[in-house]
Structure 1
């Protein structure tokens, strides 16, 4: 199996103020050196773009270091080994890793994990339904929000990669009613027709608080927050006593240049005995084996379905990311690198 040694990579060159633009990035080509002992070279087939990456473009303290200016960005990716200088990996192995934003990567073997090829499942699934995205939904709902059978669940950003998984897992785990919000009529229809939500609404159609009250006349017990802002305020208004929220993201605030305004009903946390818990997936990797086994069964039996929005060409990764931030994706936003592995 032969491979090129020229890697096309995307780098951050400016710290975006407000919405990122193409001018904040550059595309470079890098000639990779000969492999040294313990290294592998991987042709990425798919790379991931995710909302959390917007935060890493700012030079602020967070749960992961910011992207360095003038250096290639990182993120989840899946590909095949095309050259190996270690017995731990064979040419042709499928691997997942964190060296995204490029079509060809060469690093120490410790940074890669071999995964099986599943029948009739594209490798891109390892970036979504079989990867960090769905694991985030799984642990956020079950471990952080402590879903109980009979709960009513509200999910913001429900047609996205994480939200669409949260809704389906909630139903499989015994939720009584699952409600989602999305930003277009098409996405709202998809939530109830494909993902099994009991009710859904378009948050652009008026007061989120009022729409949630109609969709959940008996209140909600669990809120999975991908959006923040007005969605969190609506959840606080709708919570039953003892409600629990898993705070996963706040995409409505990521590109704002104004100081964020908190919900105006925070006293409900006290009066209704609510628990709001923020989390990041890095603290929950120990749940990966249980998640992987359960999700593989759900996927094989057709109990879980998923969508991907695929952008072709690693050189278009920035456009894919900007589209993701504008809500142009249904399900997981994926970049197909266009790599051709030649046997």
Structure 2
């Protein structure tokens, strides 16, 4: 009589546990899926802050050279100084001094003093202006044409020519109210003194010409400062000052950008003359602000400040706080971000991340 061994119960229990574990896993996955798809995916934007931005006050330094044409000064000098500086038609008893010899310890005259008639003119050519450092040089070419007639009743006529160059050296200063003042030093020298040779002697007319030129020199010393004042430097500086209260366009669109300039003071660092232009070296201290968006309102001009003497005429220094309109920046920034999002962002510790940017 044979008997079969009993079926083990342990494998059956294991299968039941495995089925129960699988069921729980499926249930957990289902619950997780339901929670995932039913979550609230709306993201609220961060709160908008409208607090005023505190910007430290700091001035920018801008070089603002101003040029003025000095052709009016040249024309004024041409009108003030006659072409013919002086003319002479006069008899002199002693054109040639008597010759003497020493005999027996005495000077004995062997020829008499010889007289003559002096006829001639001293004229000038066109006036030229040039710069030399901070000096304005006025060059006045002078030409003498003088004749000695009836010299001792022997020489009927002999013409002497001479040339000189007069130089007026002008130094400008600006007062605190921006009106110019000028000091003038005028001198001349004969590059070719006028004279003739007669009977082995040289007859020169330099002293006679000098005597006539001295009043011209003195008159120029009075005339030049008045003509300098007619340049009206204050009006030109005042116009430039008022026009500086403005907004300058830095970028036309995408986005529009403006720089608003609010002048505060002007400093003066001297001048130079070149090419017929008097160039004032000015530096303007101003408040500067950059606006992204529509053109800001121009600041209200203030009166021209007193002149400050400082050598800042060629320096540049900018302090530019930026005030941006978000509505102008948003489309520009969004366009850049959307273009960049075509490639994943590689975030440290996370890896490649694909982002989407919406308005």
When the two structures are superposed, what TM-score results if normalisation uses the length of structure 1?
0.17
Kindly indicate which of the two structures has a greater share of residues assigned to strand: 2
Q: Which has the higher contact order (CA 8 A, sep 6+)?
A: 1
Structure richer in helix, relative to its length = 1
TM-score (ref. length: structure 2): 0.17
